[in-house]
Structure 1
Amino acid sequence: MIDRAQSDRLRMLRLPLIAGVVFIHASTLPPPGSGAYTIDAKTLAQLLLSDGVARLAVPIFFLMAGFFLYGHGAWSGATYLEKLKARARTLLLPMVLWNALSLGLFAASQAHPATARYFSGSTVIANFGPMDYGNALLGVSALPIAHQFWFIRDLIVMVIVSPLLLLAVKAAPKVTLALMASLWLLTAKPYPIPAPEAALFFSVGLFCRARGLSLFSLDGRTRFLLWPYLLLLLATPAYLGQPYGLALRKLEIALGVPVALWLTGLGSPSGKARAFLLRFATASFFIFAAHEPLLTIVKKLLPSVISAPLAVYLLAPVIVIVALLLSHAALHKLSPRLMRLLAGSR
């Protein structure tokens, strides 16, 4: 069992990490590795935020998911079935529900002339076949229609194969984690699902729990990682568009994950910021689930009000996060049952 202080440190991370996910999706940069960037104010901000600090969010979420799945009891068939049943309620059901809502929103909006231009693109719901609907709802062979749910899809896969992963990290931890780290660092993907990032950090979480290690075990040494991480982060505009840029960014993330965990222990044990983060930690899944396609709509509408590209980039995710925090609070008060359904019983 982790103590209350460590539990609170992880809970305080949830809202900032989800904010990071929203900022990742607010970026308009081409995919990393597609060439050098023309640096202006907006591009610089995106490289440091969306393609810099925010990139720590997904690995840390997978790390925590693996850490909290295992527990201290011996793994058994009955325990495994309980885990599958619980994750079907907390992961599978909300994924299908939110994707179905997005599917309905896209279909209705594409059919109406006044809103069709905001939902234009290659995804034309009227032309969908059975496989298209399978992908839209579950991400069987492509991204779900609410694309952020690739994370939940991959997490479900990790839970399904978790007994094999647990056996591997117990029997041959160095070989298992080194292999997964190599696939991630080299951006190699010998299997379609899950992403190497998901497999690596989920397995590290499983390994830590199986060995009785805290996710904060590196706290005493992490201050030595802070400066290399900051140097790589600030150098992102120079290296990310280069052939070796992806490898350096993976190194930056590997350094940044323990740094982010360490920073949660530096704050005061009390204070308004801490209370706010703990109070709204439960809103993180709702923000994750609902921020798209809302963010896309806001990004398309804002330029008609604000002409500065940098301001649009910074304001769009802030508007979405604040709106969803308020919506979460209101819906939680008006209909707790509906909120629990939308938030996967959270």
Structure 2
Amino acid sequence: MEKATSAKLRVLSFIAMIMIIYLHSYNLAVKFNGVDVPIAKNYNSFVQVFISDGITRIAVPLFAAISGFLFFYNFKPSTQAFLNKYKKRFNSLFIPYILWSAWGLLFFFILQILPQSRKFFNSTLIKDYSLNKLLEVLFWDPLPYQLWFVRDLLILVLLSPIIYLILRYLKIVGLLLFFVIWLFDFSLLMLKPDTIFFFSFGAYLSFHAQAFLQSRYPGLAKVALVLYIVLLMVKTWFFQINYTPNFAPFLLKGVIVCGAFAAWYLYDFVTENRDISNSTFYQYSGFSFFLYAFHEPVLTLFKKGTLAVIGKSQVAMFAAYLVLPLIVITLALITGAILKKYMSGFYSLLTGGR
């Protein structure tokens, strides 16, 4: 893969990761002692919904599409080739998944036995888990809830021969089948429709990698960006006036399509004639996976703890929403850098060799 393409995928993944953290920074539905904080429709709700239920919603599709593209890029199908892919993904996905899931269990267990933090937990305590429940949480329903995406990727990797056959022999018809699954939110093998379609979409693009990577649509990308913002404004305004039209799910789909298209092609416009690999931002982007795995449950703990201390006024919630992600990102980057420098082997296990 060309250096420029590799850098593009890495930087876009890092931007998507920052989006994920702001998606999870949403605090309008935070519970205290089992009670939801009331949502007042004002500047705070508008900004949080516009960003966390709008701008950031392209992050997971981007991750899934990039994962599908990289899995099948220059792929020559054979039984051995798929087995080699399974082995690599075991190291890069399954091992980090289990390690971070176990870390979540330990982290929550410690917090639940401390009097100062016990009040923030309303569900069953880990010390009261049965063995079956413990195994379920460790392997299937991890407490760091963002790991659902890695779980879905692991399933998609196992299903990759089937996905390959569908896309290779049904071609665009096969892709349309996956698109319909996403468009109408059909559940399939407990996988989220977003990951099914966009992983398959990335795989389909990898079959036509040369034409895809050489394509440039700056004009269409600018139009897509305008549509992205307009659709986001409309969607957020509907939320503000407590109106949910029948086409609301399709409105969100339009936001995702326009936003992802704009992000992919405007990147080339922004970085034209620049070697992005020399930038500080590019160096930070190497910590994308660590940032993904580390930020929860740390961010949730910070949210609940901060609002418990400074109060739950609209100003406090708005300030927490904007500032806490920056603190968590900084903490994650510092922690990741220290581990990478002084415990490189362990860091490699945690990040799947990334």
1:265 maps to a residue whose letter is: D
1:342 aligns with 2:350: yes
Q: Find the aligned partners of 1:272 and 1:208 in 2 and give their Cα distance.
A: 24
Q: How does 1:282-301 map to 2 (within 5 A)?
A: 282-301=286-305
Shift of 1:215: 5.3
- Paired residues, what number? 335
Shift of 1:59: 0.3
Q: Deviations over 1:244-299 (max 9, x none)?
A: 22220111101111111112112244488971221112201011101111001110
Shift of 1:235: 1.6
Q: Find the aligned partners of 1:71 and 1:271 in 2 and give their Cα distance.
A: 23
Partner of 1:34: none
Q: Deviations over 1:64-119 (max 9, x none)?
A: 0000111324211111111111111110001100110110121222123232123x
Q: Find the aligned partners of 2:185 and 2:4 in 1 and give their Cα distance.
A: 36
Partner of 2:122: 121
Q: How does 1:54-203 map to 2 (within 5 A)?
A: 54-118=56-120, 120-139=121-140, 143-189=141-187, 191-203=188-200
Q: 1:245 aligns with which of 245, 248, 251?
A: 248
Shift of 1:315: 1.0
Partner of 2:326: 318
Is 21-30 or 202-211 further displaced after alignment? 21-30
Q: Find the aligned partners of 1:201 and 1:110 in 2 and give their Cα distance.
A: 38
Is 301-310 or 58-67 further displaced after alignment? 301-310
Partner of 1:7: 6
Q: Find the aligned partners of 2:45 and 2:280 in 1 and give their Cα distance.
A: 31
Check conservation: 2:7, 2:277, Cα contact below 8 A.
Answer: no
Q: 1:256 aligns with which of 251, 256, 259?
A: 259
Q: Find the aligned partners of 1:206 and 1:61 in 2 and give their Cα distance.
A: 12
1:23 maps to a residue whose letter is: Y
Closer, same or farther: CA 128–236 of 1 in aligned 2, 3 Å: same
Q: Find the aligned partners of 1:46 and 1:226 in 2 and give their Cα distance.
A: 20
TM-score by length of 2: 0.88
Shift of 1:218: 5.5
Structure 1: any 5+ residue segments left out of the alignment?
32-36
Q: Find the aligned partners of 1:109 and 1:309 in 2 and give their Cα distance.
A: 23
Calculate percent identity across the aligned residue pairs: 30
Check conservation: 1:107, 1:126, Cα contact below 8 A.
Answer: yes
Closer, same or farther: CA 300–30 of 1 in aligned 2, 3 Å: closer
Closer, same or farther: CA 226–109 of 1 in aligned 2, 3 Å: closer
Partner of 2:54: 52
Check conservation: 1:185, 1:250, Cα contact below 8 A.
Answer: yes
